[in-house]
Amino acid sequence: MANPRRSTNTLDQIHSNRTYFKKPVLAFPFLLFILVVLTWISLIRFQQTSSHIAAVHTTTQQSYFTKILPSGDANFVRFSTVKFPSKIFKDPRGWIFDPLTIALEAGISGGAQSCISSYLGEIKPGHIRGNHRHDSRNETFVVWGADTLFRLEVGPRSYSEIFIGADEVVVVASPVHIAHALINVDSSGGTTFFLGCQDSSVDYNIPTPKIWDDI
């Protein structure tokens, strides 16, 4: 006669073996889910880190371009283009003036004595004009239209920077042998406009060496 207890133990063992083989099958989707979640978290952290690095880089670039050094040694005069009336803004039509006369009246020295050579130009945001010096002529600039830095050499390895606001017009002189540069730093996309007046003729076929490597 068969032992009922032994039969029961045999059935329990078979059931236990089936449960054992089922556990890995049930655990695999759970492990896969955990792996997907961890991968998703890693991707989010990577994107946040990348965004932070990009933001720091952008801030560094902007801070570099908008750094304003003392301008006490620069030779310039500034006017508002919105305050009316003023020395240059005499009627509702807008401002107008003779740059050489204004420079003389303001006591600006070292600029052009006459406009033998003159030119008009523009600078798009983030771009530069100049970054050179003239060895045979003085120059007077009129700058307006956008947030702009005007850099002027004031001695060996030293310079001043004038910040020109979008609502200002500035007359500034760059004497012979003195380096200068204009940098558009306007964050709203404004265009810098400038008029250059030189007291001798210009040969644009002669290259001018770059002065500053940081712009």
Residue type, position 111, single letter: G
pLDDT tens-place string over residues 41-91: 666 655 544 444 333 333 333 322 233 345 556 689 999 999 989 889 999
DSSP state of 159: E
CB distance 91 to 172 below 8 Å: no
Structural domain containing residue 83: 76-198
Q: Which residue would you say has higher pLDDT here, 122 or 49?
A: 122
Note the pLDDT of residue 33: 73
Note the pLDDT of residue 24: 53
- Asked if residue 158 belongs to a domain, the reply is yes
Asked whether residue 126 falls in the same domain as residue 167, the answer is yes
Asked whether residue 82 falls in the same domain as residue 131, the answer is yes
Q: How far apart are CA 170 and CA 181, in angstroms?
A: 14
- Asked if residue 52 belongs to a domain, the reply is yes
What is the average pLDDT score of the chain? 79
Query: Comparing C-alpha atoms, which of 184, 181, 180 is closest to residue 126?
Result: 184
pTM reported for the whole predicted model? 0.66
Query: Comparing C-alpha atoms, which of 60, 210, 66, 55 is closest to residue 146?
Result: 66
Confidence of residue 3 (pLDDT cuts 50, 70, 90): low
Quick one: tokens of 159?
């310079």
Asked whether residue 90 falls in the same domain as residue 54, the answer is no
CB distance 128 to 183 below 8 Å: yes
In 3-state terms, what secondary structure has residue 68? coil
Query: What percentage of the chain exceeds 90 in pLDDT?
Result: 53
Asked whether residue 151 falls in the same domain as residue 95, the answer is yes
Asked whether residue 101 falls in the same domain as residue 158, the answer is yes
Asked whether residue 46 falls in the same domain as residue 142, the answer is no
Note the pLDDT of residue 60: 31
pLDDT tens-place string over residues 79-113: 999 998 988 999 999 999 999 999 999 999 899 99
Asked whether residue 143 falls in the same domain as residue 168, the answer is yes
Quick one: tokens of 165?
């606001």
Averaged over 104-127, what is the pLDDT?
94
Give the list of residues 6+ apart from residue 129 with CB closer than 8 angstroms, or none: 121, 123, 181, 182, 194
Q: How many domains does the chain have?
A: 2
Note the pLDDT of residue 54: 35
Note the pLDDT of residue 103: 92
